[in-house]
Structure 1
Amino acid sequence: MFRFADPTYLYLLIILPFIVAFYLYSNFKRRKAIKKFGDPELMAQLMPDVSKYRPDVKFWLVLSALALTIVLIARPQFGTKLNKVKRSGVEVIIALDISNSMLAEDVTPSRLEKSKMLVSKLVDGFDQDKVGMIVFAGDAYTQLPITSDYISAKMFLETITPDLISRQGTAIGTAVDLATHSFTPQEGVGRAIVLITDGENHEDGALEAVKAAKKAGIIVHVLGVGSPDGAPIPVPGTNNFRKDRQGNVIVTRLNESMCKELAIAGKGIYARVDNSNTAQKALISEIDKMAKSDIESNAYSDFDEQFQGVAWIILLLLIADLLLLERKNPLFKNIKLFKI
Structure 2
Amino acid sequence: MFRFEEITYLYLLLLLPLLAAFYLYSNYKRRKAIRLFGDPQLMAQLMPSVSKYRPDVKFWLVFVAIALFALLLARPQFGSKLETVKRKGVEVIIALDISNSMLAQDVQPSRLEKAKMLVSKLVDGMENDKIGLIVFAGDAFTQLPITSDYISAKMFLESINPSLISKQGTAVGAAIDLATRSFTPQEGVGRAVVLITDGENHEGGAVEAAKAAAEKGIQVNVLGVGLPGGAPIPIEGTNDFRRDGDGNVIVTRLNEAMCQQIAADGKGIYVRVDNTNSAQKAIGQEINKMAKTDVESKVYTEYNEQFQSVAWIILLLLLAELLILNRKNPLFKNIHLFSNKK
2:73 aligned partner:
73
| Residues in 1 aligned to 2:59 and 2:305: alpha-carbon distance in whole angstroms | 23
Q: After TM superposition, give the deviation of residue 25 of structure 1 in Å.
A: 4.8
Deviation readout 1:185-224 (Å, 9 max, x if unpaired):
1111110000000000001100000000000001111000
Secondary structure at 1:88's aligned position in 2?
strand
1:215 aligned partner:
215
AA at the equivalent of 1:255: N
Q: Does 2:59 correspond to 1:59? A: yes
Aligned match of 1:323 in 309, 320, 334? 320
Moved more, 190-199 or 82-91: 82-91
Contact persistence 2:65–2:318 (CA under 8 A): no
1:299 aligned partner:
299
Contact persistence 2:72–2:310 (CA under 8 A): no
1:72-111 maps to which residues of 2 (within 5 A)?
Answer: 72-74=72-74, 82-111=82-111
| Residues in 2 aligned to 1:101 and 1:306: alpha-carbon distance in whole angstroms | 52
1:125 aligned partner:
125
Contact persistence 1:149–1:300 (CA under 8 A): no
- TM-score where L is the length of structure 1: 0.86
| Residues in 1 aligned to 2:271 and 2:218: alpha-carbon distance in whole angstroms | 18
Contact persistence 2:72–2:311 (CA under 8 A): no
| Residues in 1 aligned to 2:93 and 2:267: alpha-carbon distance in whole angstroms | 16
Contact persistence 1:107–1:275 (CA under 8 A): yes
**In 2 relative to 1, CA 151–316 (structure 1 residues): closer, same or farther, beyond 3 Å?**
same
Q: After TM superposition, give the deviation of residue 87 of structure 1 in Å.
A: 1.0
1:265 aligned partner:
265
| Residues in 2 aligned to 1:170 and 1:320: alpha-carbon distance in whole angstroms | 70
| Residues in 2 aligned to 1:139 and 1:2: alpha-carbon distance in whole angstroms | 42
2:339 aligned partner:
none
Contact persistence 2:222–2:260 (CA under 8 A): yes
| Residues in 1 aligned to 2:191 and 2:283: alpha-carbon distance in whole angstroms | 13
| Residues in 2 aligned to 1:293 and 1:87: alpha-carbon distance in whole angstroms | 8
AA at the equivalent of 2:88: S
1:77-226 maps to which residues of 2 (within 5 A)?
Answer: 82-226=82-226
AA at the equivalent of 1:187: E
| Residues in 2 aligned to 1:300 and 1:136: alpha-carbon distance in whole angstroms | 33
AA at the equivalent of 1:236: E
Unaligned runs of 5+ in 2: 337-342
Q: After TM superposition, give the deviation of residue 273 of structure 1 in Å.
A: 0.6
2:45 aligned partner:
45
Q: After TM superposition, give the deviation of residue 159 of structure 1 in Å.
A: 1.0
Secondary structure at 2:268's aligned position in 1?
strand
Q: Which has the larger radius of gyration?
A: 2
AA at the equivalent of 2:279: A
Contact persistence 1:88–1:128 (CA under 8 A): yes
Q: After TM superposition, give the deviation of residue 53 of structure 1 in Å.
A: 1.9
- The CA RMSD over aligned residues, in Å, is 3.1
| Residues in 2 aligned to 1:89 and 1:166: alpha-carbon distance in whole angstroms | 35
**In 2 relative to 1, CA 3–166 (structure 1 residues): closer, same or farther, beyond 3 Å?**
farther
1:229 aligned partner:
229
**In 2 relative to 1, CA 294–306 (structure 1 residues): closer, same or farther, beyond 3 Å?**
closer
**In 2 relative to 1, CA 306–15 (structure 1 residues): closer, same or farther, beyond 3 Å?**
farther
Q: After TM superposition, give the deviation of residue 296 of structure 1 in Å.
A: 1.6
AA at the equivalent of 1:152: S
AA at the equivalent of 2:241: F
Q: After TM superposition, give the deviation of residue 244 of structure 1 in Å.
A: 0.7
Contact persistence 2:111–2:225 (CA under 8 A): yes
Question: Number of residue pairs matched?
Answer: 330
Contact persistence 1:61–1:317 (CA under 8 A): no
Moved more, 271-280 or 58-67: 58-67
Secondary structure at 2:120's aligned position in 1?
helix
Q: After TM superposition, give the deviation of residue 267 of structure 1 in Å.
A: 1.2
1:337 aligned partner:
none
Q: After TM superposition, give the deviation of residue 74 of structure 1 in Å.
A: 4.7
**In 2 relative to 1, CA 149–300 (structure 1 residues): closer, same or farther, beyond 3 Å?**
farther
| Residues in 2 aligned to 1:75 and 1:145: alpha-carbon distance in whole angstroms | 34
| Residues in 2 aligned to 1:149 and 1:81: alpha-carbon distance in whole angstroms | 17
AA at the equivalent of 2:313: L
- TM-score where L is the length of structure 2: 0.85
